[in-house]
Amino acid sequence: MEAFLVSTGIVGLAEMGDKTQLLALVLAAKFRKPWPIVLGILVATVANHAMAGALGAWVTTLLGPQTLRWILGVSFIAMAVWMLIPDQLDDDNNAGKPLRFGVFGTTVFVFFLVEMGDKTQIATVMLAARYDAYFWVVAGTTLGMMLANAPVVWLGSRFMHLIPLRVVHIVSALVFAVLGVLALLVPA
């Protein structure tokens, strides 16, 4: 259960102000169809995080516990620094073009691609490597992603102004830093 709760919290915080959250806002404003957007985010996240979790679980079979502990500790600290650098969404160069895959298909495709190499995907890899609970890590990171993105789709830009993003980034960075230090100091 710890893997689920930690994964949910870390990804939920890491996603605040992330480019995929900005993408959710753009899609909501552009299409004004929240159900297919939210379902598209869910499908893309499950697929992406399942692959990332599998990679994290596989890494644990290659590395010894000491090496893995140091890699995870340094990785979490690097994530803390990365959290302090806000994301920006590129301009939409395809404005006005018809959708080939509909709102749902477009959301799945775009979210899956944008999430590749993103903070939350890398966090999923690290969490799956840290915990021997693949399902709970993927479920937690997916829930964290949905908790951060679904309200943006439903409430639009009003939600983005409720919490100062700088505060969220600092809190997220602190969480990652603490986890990194704990990973370095406390044997698994």
pLDDT of residue 160: 53
Lowest mean pLDDT among 34-38, 73-77, 92-96, 138-142: 92-96
The residue ranking higher by pLDDT, 177 or 17, is 177
Q: How far apart are the first and last CA of the chain?
A: 16
Does residue 18 carry a pLDDT above 90? no
């890491």: which residue's tokens? 14
* Coil vs helix vs strand at 36: helix
Kindly tell me the burial class for residue 21, based on how many C-beta atoms sit within 10 Å of its own C-beta (0-12, 13-18, 19 or more): buried
**Angle (deg, nearest 10), helices 165-185 and 2-15:** 140
**What are the start-end ranges of the H helices in 16-161?**
19-31, 34-62, 65-83, 102-115, 119-130, 134-155, 157-160
Q: Which residue has the tokens 């698994």?
A: 188
Angle in degrees, 0-180, between the axes of helices 119-130 and 2-15, rounded to the nearest 10: 160
Instruction: Say what the pLDDT of residue 92 is.
Output: 47
Q: What angle do CA 174, 175, 178 make, to 5 degrees?
A: 85
The yes-or-no verdict on residue 174 having pLDDT over 90 is no
pLDDT digits (tens, 9 = 90+) for 154-164: 886 555 556 66
Read off the pTM. 0.74
Q: Find how far residue 55's CA is from the centre of its chain.
A: 15
Rounded Cα–Cα distance for residues 26 and 32 (Å): 10
State the Cα–Cα distance between residues 93 and 57, nearest whole angstrom. 37
Mean pLDDT (whole number) for 10-14: 90
